Amino acid sequence: MPDAARAGLGEFLRSRRERLSPAALGLPDRRRRRTPGLRREEVAELAGIGVDWYIRLEQGRTVSPSSATVEALARALRLDDGERAHLRALARNPARTPFTRERVPEATRRLVEGLSEPAYVTGRRWDLLAWNRAAAGLFTDFGALPEADRNVLVFLLLDERARRLFGDGWAAQAEHTVAQFHAAHDLWAPDPAFTGLADRLRAGCPEFATWWGRHDVGRSGPGRKTLYRPEAADYDYATFQADGDLRLTIYAPAGGR
């Protein structure tokens, strides 16, 4: 029987297989393909593993691929560095206790609140756990929201204020954030805290299903965003690992204004 905790691994493998072009890899196309991308047996051959073994992986069966097998699959599927890291994490994904919303250590909370630049702390599910006055002024007063709505994805995808704030750049920013959440969701599903959030986003954001179906995965990093408050202004931002799995994100006006 499929293992629900391994479903993310199988779904990720299938999504990467289906996006590959046989012609681009120089593979013969002797018979008509009913679905896009490579066939399972072609991936298995490229990776040098048995077809039955690969099928079990893609079906989410309880199997434990070796590190050599994982690397062979990454090469066969032409994964980039971020996708390769995600595949490794999925392959070694241990059993997890039920998810609980994290708590920010008091020292970290005081540090964030004392910063002059907009800053906030998020957890593994992108819940907003701590923020300062500058962040509330730049985005919204998260403290006035119900706890269930204090979440980066809920604000970005379901709150009309976020669409106005990001303007023409909203779709690109939202899609990138969904890809980052998908990476965490794969590791935590079938925990209802993660699957329930995905269901809520799917129901409330028309674009979510399309982005989710691509199964792209993303990672946090520095960058620049244009925000409209109400005039356009560019902000540089960077995300840092804080306590445990917590992340600290800090914004600053671009160019040091």
135: domain CATH number is 3.30.450.180
Q: Is the pLDDT of residue 237 over 60?
A: yes
Which domain range does residue 27 map to?
Answer: 4-91
Residues 6+ apart with CB under 8 A from 81: none
Q: What is the pLDDT of residue 253?
A: 94
Residue 257's pLDDT band (cuts 50, 70, 90): low
Name the band, by pLDDT with cuts 50, 70 and 90, for residue 32.
low
Angle of CA points 249, 96, 131, to nearest 5°: 20
Indicate the pLDDT class of residue 246, thresholds 50, 70 and 90: very high
What is the pLDDT at residue 28? 66
In a shared domain, residues 215 and 145: yes
Residue 96 in domain:
no
98 part of a folded domain? no
**pTM for this entry:** 0.88
Question: Residue 40 is part of a domain; what is its CATH number?
Answer: 1.10.260.40
Residues 233 and 177 in one domain: yes
- Residues 59 and 150 both lie in one domain: no
Residue 99 lies in a domain: no
Whether residue 233 is found in the same domain as residue 117: yes
- Residue-level pLDDT at 63: 76
Which one of 67, 91, 115 terminates a domain?
A: 91
Convert the pLDDT of each residue in 142-182 to its tens digit.
999 999 999 999 999 999 999 999 999 999 999 999 999 99
123 and 83 in a single domain? The answer is no
Interval 39-77: pLDDT, tens: 999 999 999 999 999 999 998 887 788 899 999 999 999
10 and 110 housed in the same domain? no
Co-location of 124 and 238 in the same domain: yes
Query: pLDDT-based confidence at 29, cuts 50/70/90?
Result: low
Total domain count for the chain?
2
In a domain, 242, yes or no: yes
> What pLDDT does residue 1 have?
44
pLDDT at 85 over 70: yes
Regarding whether 121 and 187 lie in a shared domain, the answer is yes
64, 91, 118: which is the final residue of a domain?
91
- For residue 37, the model assigns a pLDDT of 86
> 19 and 70: one domain?
yes
